[in-house]
């Protein structure tokens, strides 16, 4: 797969009827010859894309006093450990609905798990060490915040596909291409049979029809 093939597919997607909102571009990788029950073949990675996703993610911090000032200055919202006990289930559910990403100070993870674990776990928003969301008390929150704006998860679905957002309609073609090529190259390097495990690659917008990249050419 090369950039020319990707650009051609993007142009075909852009030719589809427009909607009244700024749609998300999704990349779909259909895989083959994988046993996802085998831990060595399961795909589950967090990666930081070279270009932002086009939509600002709202980040919430669960911190102790060490990071309270940084959280106040940098994040869209935060709770300090001493305030956890005042949060009821309704409030926690509202936070889970309002914010896209949660950061957790590593030294208070036990307290965070007790208060937020059930709700955030059900929403798929529990802070993950693999994603860089569980942070030490001496972290630079501005750097972590910027990283969260570009971080996506690559995980295999039951149908052996990986679907991941790579940007918005109003982004430049070259920025979309850079994110797509980054994910393709990453996946090709981390699959057991490299690119031979990739059956096909498609892109689509939120409400659009998928377009296969390199449909008439070998990937």
Q: What is the pLDDT of residues 91-120, one digit of tens each?
A: 999 999 999 999 999 999 999 999 999 999
Same domain, 158 and 205: yes
pLDDT in tens, 183-208: 999 999 999 999 999 999 999 999 99
User: What CATH number is given to the structural domain containing 10?
Assistant: 3.30.190.20
Report whether pLDDT(217) > 70. no
**What does the pLDDT average to over 38-66?**
93
What's the confidence (pLDDT) of residue 216?
A: 52
Domain with 180 in it = 3-53+150-212
Same domain, 74 and 108: yes
**What does the pLDDT average to over 60-77?**
97
Same domain, 184 and 136: no
What's the confidence (pLDDT) of residue 45?
A: 94
Same domain, 154 and 49: yes
91, part of any domain: yes
Same domain, 179 and 144: no
Q: How far apart are CA 69 and CA 200, in angstroms?
A: 47
Q: What is the mean pLDDT of the chain?
A: 94
Please give the DSSP secondary-structure letter assigned to residue 170: T
């Amino acid at each position: 797969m090369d950039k020319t093939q990707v650009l051609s597919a993007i142009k075909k997607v852009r030719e589809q009827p427009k909607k009244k909102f700024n749609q998300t571009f999704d990349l779909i990788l259909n895989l083959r010859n994988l046993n996802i029950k085998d831990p060595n073949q399961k795909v589950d990675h967090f990666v930081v894309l070279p270009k932002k996703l086009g939509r600002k993610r709202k980040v919430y911090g669960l911190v102790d006093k060490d990071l309270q000032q940084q959280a106040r200055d940098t994040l869209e919202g935060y709770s300090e450990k001493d305030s956890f006990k005042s949060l009821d289930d309704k409030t926690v559910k509202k936070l889970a609905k309002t914010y896209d990403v949660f950061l957790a100070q590593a030294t208070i993870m036990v307290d965070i798990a007790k208060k937020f674990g059930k709700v955030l776990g059900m929403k798929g928003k529990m802070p993950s060490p693999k994603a860089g969301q569980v942070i030490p008390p001496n972290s630079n929150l501005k750097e972590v915040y910027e990283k969260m704006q570009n971080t996506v998860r690559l995980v295999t679905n039951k149908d052996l596909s990986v679907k991941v957002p790579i940007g918005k309609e109003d982004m430049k073609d070259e920025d979309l291409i850079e994110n797509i090529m980054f994910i393709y190259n990453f996946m090709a390097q981390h699959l057991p049979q490299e690119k031979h495990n990739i059956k096909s690659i498609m892109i689509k917008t939120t409400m659009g029809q998928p377009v296969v990249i390199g449909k008439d050419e070998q990937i």
